[in-house]
Amino acid sequence: MKLYLIGSMQATIPAKFVHGKSLPFFSSSLFGSCLGVRKLKTLTSLERKRDNRGLDVKQMAWRMEKCDGNGMGIGEFGVLRPAMEDYAQEAVKAVKAGKVIVVPTDTLYGFACDACSMDAVHRIYEIKGRKYTSPLAICVGDVEDIQRFAVTDHLPNGLLNSLLPGPVTLVLRRGVSSILEKSLNPGLESIGVRVPDYNFIRLIARGSGSALALTSANLSGHPSSLDIKDFENLWKYCAYIYDGGVIPSDRAGSTVVDLTEPGSYKILRHGSAKEETIGILERHDLVANANST
């Protein structure tokens, strides 16, 4: 860690974000044509500035103009932080305290909270102006965690690890052993599960010891957010807003696929990775449901 002077403020920034030498990074933009096949590429300092895993010094300086020296938002706004590992534990504490936070993912910015805190879940619905009949997905830290919340034993070996982490939401049956609160998405026997290819939110999910309820950070019916400026009017309703820069994606969100039935799949939303997802599903001998889009 090094201390840098940004305007009239001091900011502590990990050395990896400012050193000129190349460092290895995993980036979703560097994946091959098939989800689950990672290619390691060494990024130059210029390329790292465009990567959504962190902010370079100039970008952080611009975004900190609206904050005091401690990263506190001015006026009635929430607390603005860079989406860096140093702040993951702070985010975990906020989630465990029943707060709503905003985090970047590999597709969009999202509102997140403890999926087992109904007060926090209801707060997300209020912030978005979302109908309570519209279900929320959950986010877990690792593929191995999915079985705590949903039924996976009917899926082909290796399928989950081929799809995830990545821009895909899997709709699975909860099952009787799910530790999710029954009041989350009441009346539904299924749950959408994400493992985003974004380390910061995965650190928070792991640290929470549970799952995060996750939905796009925008008013219901409005365009999804790729930059924290897209939903600046909603900052004041959230405990923390974690800034990962502009997410290099379209606004299609994750591809949503129903895997509740053994041997078949159904695409519920095309999202940003439909073709790659279908390719993986069919290589694992799953066939499209007749009603699949």
> To 5 degrees, how large is the angle CA 197–CA 201–CA 205?
110
Task: Tell me how far apart the alpha carbons of residues 194 and 213 are, in angstroms, rounded to a whole number.
Answer: 10
Rounded distance, CA 74 to CA 63, Å?
12
What single DSSP character describes residue 73?
Answer: B
Give residue 41's pLDDT: 32
Task: Give the other-Cβ count within 10 Å of 37's Cβ.
Answer: 11
| pLDDT the model gives residue 72 | 43
**Structure confidence at residue 290 (pLDDT):** 78
- Give average pLDDT by consecutive 10-residue segment, the chain, 293 residues: 40 40 32 31 34 42 44 57 98 96 98 96 96 95 96 97 98 91 89 98 97 97 97 96 96 97 97 97 95 68
The whole-model pTM stands at: 0.75
Domains along the chain? Answer: 71-288 (3.90.870.10)
In three-state secondary structure terms, 134 is coil
CB distance 289 to 266 below 8 Å: yes
Strands (DSSP E) along 36-153, which ranges?
A: 41-43, 79-82, 101-104, 109-114, 137-139
Q: Which pLDDT does position 11 carry in this prediction?
A: 43
Q: In the prediction, which pLDDT does 92 show?
A: 98
